[in-house]
Chains A and B, each alone.
Chain A
Amino acid sequence: MSTVLKSNTQEARTGSVGGTAAANRGLGTRLRRLNIPGGLGGWIWLAVIILPVYYVVVTSLKTQAGYFGQNPLSLPTEPTLENYQSVLEADFAQYFLNSAIVTLGSVIPTVLISFMASFAIVRGAGRFLKLVNGMFLMGLAIPLQATIIPIYLMIIRLNLYDSLLALMLPSIAFAIPLTVLILSNFIRDVPNELFESMRLDGCSEWQTMWRLALPLTRPAIVTVAIYNGLHVWNGFLLPLVLTQSPSLRVLPLGLWTFQGEFSVNIPAVLASVVLSTLPILVLYVIGRRQLLAGLTAGFSK
């Protein structure tokens, strides 16, 4: 199974978002002929995607009167930021901070311990490591969300209920299998001669791991960090079940309770939607390639 996994992800990497210029050119000449139906479909889908986004943004800039009075798709006659102000006053800064803490607090340990495990799985040998690897691979095929009830029980028994740490611990565990899979595929690609020369220079495996394997797998680490980060950032079930206090809400949960309380003020609700997406939108604008590669984390091949 694992060799299969490897070859797949290798293909995935070479063919990821960038693609080679030559291949693109070849496709270009081929696809130009499809232009009319393809183009039409492309524009229709664009409308399907953009209309909701446009509606959310313009409505969030309208006053209540504007919302009830104007055409829903027209630009606001008196654009206002007061909706955003009321969202911020509803503690969204706190939710944002909570989301940031939980995301960083999950992603950094996940990547760190998964990297160490991947290094051992690739460079080491023995029955124990085989067993560990097999277990992580099994973990990929199990819908871990179904374990929410025992996790709830454990978190209560550990006296962690209603804390941010309660969100991080299962998030880390859920993210390990895929992270180990991707990182070990990348470490496996580091030429053996490099490891050998490190060893001849008298470096221990520990030093080799940090000085050789880590820098060489940095792109993969960024990719899995983004992938895991987005999942934690947008996660809903764990915060819903494992926290309770308003001061511990993360953004998706904050959004949900906000729309419950402010259901009469749709512009404010939609402002909260925009505001909660803004950090990731900024990321998308800055590092679109990285983010898209991270989103599929080696699924595209």
Chain B
Amino acid sequence: MSNAVSTAPGPSVGVRNSKQTEQRKAALAWLTIPALFFFLVFAVIPLAGVLILSFTSWDGIGAIGAAGLDNWYSVLADPGLYNALGLTFLIMIVSWLVQTPISLLLGVFTAGSQRYRAVLAVLYFLPLLLSSAAVAIAFKALLDPNFGLATGLGLPFLAQDWLGVPHLALGLVIFVIAWQFVPFHTLIYQGGVRQIPKSLYEAAQIDGAGTIKQFFHITLPQLKYTIITSSTLMVVGSLTYFDLIFVLTGGGPGNSTRILALDMYLRGFRANLMGPASVIAVILVIIGLALALFLQRLGGKDKQGSQLEGL
């Protein structure tokens, strides 16, 4: 910032210049106004609004009335909240455990220079192009016990009532999430692996370290920040798997896949209880912030906190 001052020829000119520079730099502030306006109106105010709405009763159409702490009492006493919280964290953790090793290995694999790997990578990334709605609809058709994959492959164990049995539906949700999001994380790891200086591997080879040793002693430690970035996106992003689960299972069967984001939507826009739904939204914001801060501290230098617009 002070470069302009230090390169100025003489002290007097420098002082004048720096004053002008200061003014000029401060004058740039107005350029932020359009972005600031949008962000304040459609992000900051709604964020405050959700907190306020959590103390009101509103059916989504009529008048908004004060409700004090009623919504909070009723939601916190509702076992549905704890079911949704538990499911959210369960899906978050299992998804992380499933996706991270696969993405990491595929990232290493696709970072290789062989031609066939480049071709495979082109196909691996196909799910990135699909909307969650499209993925969910495709899997619903695919899992038809009579006309889907089970019959096609001749594998009868695939012919289950995937959407009708709670633990199968939960497993399915986790699998479909992995199918949709592993490619994204593979891409991140691929970039990370390509970033590792090859001299490290050459040195290791001279020392006689084998492939597996190299993986654990070079690749993995070198990918530390990539792992943190990817995990942050995965964990915080898992709070917003709303659309996939909404189309795939609708939260069912029963409430067996009703995660927090879905719980918020169903309470608010189906049951017309905007107050309690806002309580859930506030909880969602708190969890998101806490996770982002925690993971940032864990990494020491993680950057995006979270990519929350529905990854």
- Interface residues of chain A, those whose CB is within 8 Å of chain B, are 4-5, 7-9, 11-12, 14-17, 19-20, 22-28, 30-34, 38, 41-43, 45-46, 48-53, 55-56, 59, 67-68, 71-74, 109, 113-114, 116-117, 119-121, 123-126, 128-129, 132, 135-137, 139-154, 169-170, 172-178, 180-181, 192, 196, 205, 209, 231, 233-237, 241, 251-253, 255-256, 259, 266, 269-270, 272-273, 276-277, 280-281, 284, 288, 292, 295-296, 299-301
**How far apart are B86's CB and chain A's nearest CB, in angstroms?**
18
- A181: chain B residues at CB < 8 Å are 303-304
The verdict on A125 contacting B109 (CB below 8 Å), with A15-B191, A149-B281, A172-B38 known, is no
**How far apart are B59's CB and chain A's nearest CB, in angstroms?**
12
Q: Would you call B149 an interface residue if the criterion is a C-beta within 8 Å of the partner chain's C-beta atoms?
A: yes
Q: Would you call B105 an interface residue if the criterion is a C-beta within 8 Å of the partner chain's C-beta atoms?
A: yes
- A292: chain B residues at CB < 8 Å are 125, 128, 187
Give Cα distance in the complex from A16 to B111, angstroms.
Answer: 11
**How far apart are A125's CB and chain B's nearest CB, in angstroms?**
4
Least CB separation from A69: chain B residue: B147
The verdict on A205 contacting B28 (CB below 8 Å), with A49-B124, A116-B34, A149-B278 known, is yes
- B229: chain A residues at CB < 8 Å are 8, 299, 301
Q: Are A277 and B134 in contact (CB under 8 A)?
A: yes
The verdict on A300 contacting B188 (CB below 8 Å), with A126-B29, A145-B308, A169-B38 known, is yes
Q: Are A12 and B191 in contact (CB under 8 A)?
A: yes
Q: Are B149 and A49 in contact (CB under 8 A)?
A: no
- B131: chain A residues at CB < 8 Å are 233-236, 251-252, 255, 276-277
**How far apart are B272's CB and chain A's nearest CB, in angstroms?**
11
**How far apart are B301's CB and chain A's nearest CB, in angstroms?**
5
Q: Are B309 and A117 in contact (CB under 8 A)?
A: no
Q: Would you call B72 an interface residue if the criterion is a C-beta within 8 Å of the partner chain's C-beta atoms?
A: no
Q: Are A129 and B29 in contact (CB under 8 A)?
A: yes
Least CB separation from B243: chain A residue: A236
- B282: chain A residues at CB < 8 Å are 146
Most chain-B Cβ atoms within 10 A of its Cβ — which of A147, A174, A280?
Answer: A147
**How far apart are B263's CB and chain A's nearest CB, in angstroms?**
12
Segment with Cβ contacts to A, from B77-85, B90-98, B162-170, B232-240: B232-240
**How far apart are B169's CB and chain A's nearest CB, in angstroms?**
18
The verdict on A125 contacting B147 (CB below 8 Å), with A31-B108, A116-B31, A147-B46 known, is no
Q: Would you call B12 an interface residue if the criterion is a C-beta within 8 Å of the partner chain's C-beta atoms?
A: no
- A177: chain B residues at CB < 8 Å are 39
Q: Are B281 and A148 in contact (CB under 8 A)?
A: yes
Q: Are B152 and A231 in contact (CB under 8 A)?
A: no
Give Cα distance in the complex from A252 to B52, angstroms.
Answer: 31
- B112: chain A residues at CB < 8 Å are 24, 27-28, 31-32, 38
**How far apart are A112's CB and chain B's nearest CB, in angstroms?**
8
- Cβ proximity bits B42-86 to A, threshold 8 Å, 1 near / 0 not: 111111011011000010100000000000000000000000000
Most chain-A Cβ atoms within 10 A of its Cβ — which of B131, B198, B278, B301?
Answer: B131
**How far apart are B281's CB and chain A's nearest CB, in angstroms?**
4
**How far apart are A52's CB and chain B's nearest CB, in angstroms?**
6
Give Cα distance in the complex from A120 to B26, angstroms.
Answer: 9
- B31: chain A residues at CB < 8 Å are 116-117, 119-120, 124, 209
Q: Are B46 and A150 in contact (CB under 8 A)?
A: yes
Q: Are B225 and A301 in contact (CB under 8 A)?
A: yes
Q: Would you call B251 an interface residue if the criterion is a C-beta within 8 Å of the partner chain's C-beta atoms?
A: no
Q: Would you call B293 an interface residue if the criterion is a C-beta within 8 Å of the partner chain's C-beta atoms?
A: yes
Task: Give 10 pairs: A residue, B residue, CB < 8 Å, sorted on A.
Answer: A8-B302, A31-B109, A114-B35, A124-B28, A135-B39, A145-B309, A241-B269, A252-B133, A266-B144, A280-B129
**How far apart are A219's CB and chain B's nearest CB, in angstroms?**
15
Q: Are B114 and A124 in contact (CB under 8 A)?
A: no
Q: Would you call B141 an interface residue if the criterion is a C-beta within 8 Å of the partner chain's C-beta atoms?
A: yes
Q: Are A150 and B288 in contact (CB under 8 A)?
A: no
Q: Would you call B173 an interface residue if the criterion is a C-beta within 8 Å of the partner chain's C-beta atoms?
A: no
- A270: chain B residues at CB < 8 Å are 137-138, 141
Least CB separation from B3: chain A residue: A192
Query: Which one of B27, B111, B120, B137 lies within 8 Å of A255 (CB-CB)?
Result: B137
10 smallest beta-carbon distances between A and B, as pairs: A300-B191, A26-B198, A150-B49, A124-B28, A173-B42, A73-B152, A28-B113, A234-B131, A15-B195, A141-B305
The verdict on A237 contacting B310 (CB below 8 Å), with A15-B192, A15-B195, A154-B49 known, is yes
- A205: chain B residues at CB < 8 Å are 24, 27-28
Give Cα distance in the complex from A22 to B199, angstroms.
Answer: 11
Q: Are B53 and A236 in contact (CB under 8 A)?
A: no
- Cβ proximity bits B1-37 to A, threshold 8 Å, 1 near / 0 not: 1011001000000000000001011111111101110
Q: Would you call B285 an interface residue if the criterion is a C-beta within 8 Å of the partner chain's C-beta atoms?
A: yes
The verdict on A144 contacting B309 (CB below 8 Å), with A72-B152, A124-B26 known, is yes
The verdict on A113 contacting B113 (CB below 8 Å), with A33-B211, A269-B137 known, is no
Q: Would you call B201 an interface residue if the criterion is a C-beta within 8 Å of the partner chain's C-beta atoms?
A: yes
**How far apart are B154's CB and chain A's nearest CB, in angstroms?**
9
Most chain-A Cβ atoms within 10 A of its Cβ — which of B149, B179, B242, B305?
Answer: B305
